[in-house]
Amino acid sequence: MSFYQSISEYYSRIFPLNPGQSHFVKDVLPGSGNLSILDVGCGTGELAMELASEFKKVVGIDLDGAMLERARAAPKAHENVEFVRMDMLDIGTGFGPGAFDAIVCFGNTLVHLQSPGQILSFLVQCGQVTASGGRLLIQVINYDRILDQEIDALPTIETPEIKFVRNYHRHADRPLIEFETILTVKNTKRSLRNMIPLYPLRKSEIEHLLQQAGFRDVKFYGGFNRIALDSGSQALVIDARKPS
């Protein structure tokens, strides 16, 4: 059972929709009523469905079938949202040139790719399926903070129903870090432990890769409210433009 398949039942309770995400997208994309959006790593689809209320068309992709089953089963007030099972490294063949006005890749999805080469491949494909002048919006953990300050855990997420512990394990001889999660369901005392490798992508590296992929006017923020990025920022939020 995959990491996300194992937590799919509880995913929306662990990571409920963050209104800041949709506000950020709407703020940086004027004329939203005529635009089409690709949501990469859409999970159980909450953000995609929220964006569908404003944008002409939203397509959410995810590699995990259990997540997509929940996205498709959720009540949808809008028919202009579609969910497709797809690897993020296949968007260049899965969609036509310039198919979207913007691509959204939030929730630390990007660092599930395992190398700079894979990340560059994804960014190049983003450029292919984004229309001229379109935007690429990304959010990951600020790994400069994680690495430089030797942080080994993220804040525990706890609700009346669940407890979600998140730890990092680094190895001097490996470029990847191991992301350990322990999900405890309180009423059954059931625990689900997972370990997944992540590529700890620094700001300087993603900036270079975006430039290699042809994106320009790259802006970095410390949150979806567009606060300035600094060494204490927990998030790295990126707004990049494909030249017209």
Extract the tokens encoding 153: 């855990």
Q: What are phi and psi of 41, to 5 degrees?
A: 75, 50
Q: Provide the mean pLDDT of the chain.
A: 94
- Answer yes or no: is pLDDT of 9 > 90: no
User: Is 80 exceeded by the pLDDT of residue 111?
Assistant: yes
Looking at residue 2, its pLDDT comes to 66
Question: Do residues 59 and 32 lie in contact, with contact meaning Cβ atoms separated by under 8 Å?
Answer: no
For CATH 2.20.25, the residue range(s) in the chain are: 146-198
3-state class (DSSP) for residue 174:
coil
Kindly state the DSSP code that residue 189 receives in the 8-state scheme. Answer: T
Percent of the chain with pLDDT over 90: 86
Closest to 15 measured CA to CA, from 52, 39, 41, 43? 43
Task: Please give the single-letter amino acid code of residue 229.
Answer: L
Q: What is the pLDDT of residue 109?
A: 97
The H or E element containing residue 137 is strand 130-141
pLDDT digits (tens, 9 = 90+) for 213-228: 999 999 999 999 999 9
Both tokens of 134, joined, read: 């379109």
Per DSSP, the three-state class of 76 is: coil
**In the chain, where does the domain assigned CATH 3.40.50.150 lie?**
3-144+199-241
Model-level pTM? Answer: 0.95
Task: Identify the architecture of domain 146-198 in CATH.
Answer: Single Sheet (2.20)
Average pLDDT over residues 60-89: 91
Q: Rg of the Cα trace of the chain?
A: 17
CATH superfamily label, 3-144+199-241 = Vaccinia Virus protein VP39 (3.40.50.150)
